[in-house]
Amino acid sequence: MRADTNGRCGALGGPLESLEERELCFGAGQSKPVDLPAQRERAEDILPLAERFLWLLSREAGSTPKKITKAASAILEQYSWPGNVRELKHLMERVFVLSEDEVLITPDLPSLPLETT
């Protein structure tokens, strides 16, 4: 059964009149936990996210999107990202502003404590 924000249930097509109908459609106040892994558990997402943030920043600034070298990508992927995606976004914002070149290289990145595996 599908529900929309107007209080209509897909199978019924009309407004939900009774509490029973609402519970049937939306559940009885039940919430289901969503398992969302931390960024450090999804290392394969780090580089595409970083590139996306840089692309958005360059579009906003009206400039050419900056590229990330392989050495800089390796550093980004080795970091544990305790601040999750927000920390990555803030880092890309800082690097975008402070980097003078169109390519981000290792010295452009601040000293990140890397995990040794």
Tens-place pLDDT, residues 51-70: 999 999 999 999 988 899 99
Q: What confidence tens digit (pLDDT) does each residue in 69-104 have? A: 998 898 888 888 887 888 899 999 998 988 888 887
Which two tokens mark 50? 């970083």
The alpha helices in 3-99, defined as continuous H runs, are 19-26, 46-61, 70-78, 84-98
Q: Helix or strand or coil: residue 114?
A: strand
pLDDT at 117: 47
Residues in the chain: 117
Q: Is pLDDT above 50 for 108?
A: yes
Asked whether the beta carbons of 115 and 79 are under 8 A apart, the reply is yes
Best CA proximity match to 3, nearest among 15, 31, 33:
15
The predicted structure's pLDDT at residue 47: 92
Residue 100: HSE in the Cβ half-sphere, 13 Å Cα cutoff? 1
Domain ranges of the chain: 1-32, 39-108
Query: What is the CATH code of the structural domain delimited by 39-108?
Result: 1.10.8.60
Q: What is the pLDDT of residues 9-27, one digit of tens each?
A: 555 555 556 666 666 666 6
Structure confidence at residue 116 as a pLDDT band (50, 70, 90) = very low
Phi-psi region of 27 (alpha: psi -120 to 50; beta: other; left: phi over 0): left
The end-to-end CA distance of the chain, in Å, is 47
